[in-house]
Amino acid sequence: MKEGSSLRTFWTYGVALALVHLAAACSPATPDPQPSATPTATAATPAADGKSVVVFGDSLFAGYNLPQDKGFAPALQRALAAQGVKAAVFNAGVSGDTSAAGLQRLAFTLDGQPRKPDLVIVGLGANDMLRGLNPADTRRNLDSILAELKKREIPAMLTGMVASPNMGADYARQFNAIYPDLARQYDVPLYPFFLDGVITDRALLLPDGIHPNEKGVERITAAVVRVVAARLAK
């Protein structure tokens, strides 16, 4: 994604997300989505000659309000298979998770895998931003997650998020720098913006205007799989 295109996309996303914030502020409070951190039904046990991938994130990874086989994890498994990559993709997404909550459950998640993963895709921070949490804390939590994966010699990948303009320029500057900075620090692949090409298209979103629907997940996966496949090939 070229820099100019990225900036335009991020700005458009920010405007859209600002409208979501406004709508949420004018709507009755709703409870956080229920967690869903179980492996995908089609990927309970990785084959001995296949790869094991864990998608570790929030509701964007968990497949919020989608059928079990339509979320990001099963879509990624199908997309990898279409590229000739035999892999079991485990859904370790929990709706409502912040980076701090993710850090707290990381060891439990990794220890519960049938074997050491060949790749862990980390996608956290969106809820931190939506709640206005300190970007320094988000950075520290994601840093700790990547440090633990490095300690365990588990390859990692990041998917990024960007701050809405209504969070303020200073907040956006601090938050948006987290993902590229950590990707460079740990030398891991980065897909810069998980919702790129989706957040601005209502036809690809659920009625809440922020979570992808089945078509949105497929659009995201078609782009992300290229980065994942390249990382698994190393």
Write b or e for each residue in 190-206: b if 16 or more Cβ atoms lie within 10 A of its Cβ, otherwise e: bbbbbbbbbbeeeebbe
Question: Is 59 an active-site residue?
Answer: yes
Q: How many angstroms separate the CA atoms of 210 and 95, rounded? A: 13
Question: Is 69 an active-site residue?
Answer: no
Contact 122, 56 (CB under 8 A): yes
User: Which candidate in 69, 143, 181, 208 is catalytic?
Assistant: 208
Task: List the beta bridge partners of residue 54.
Answer: 90, 120
Total length of the chain: 234
Question: Is 201 an active-site residue?
Answer: no
Distances (CA, A) of 49 to 82, 87, 143, 164: 17, 9, 31, 43
User: Which candidate in 52, 58, 59, 97 is catalytic?
Assistant: 59
Closest CA to 17 of 208, 216, 221, 173: 208
Element (H, E) at 102: helix 99-111
Residue type, 26: C
Catalytic residues: 59, 208, 211
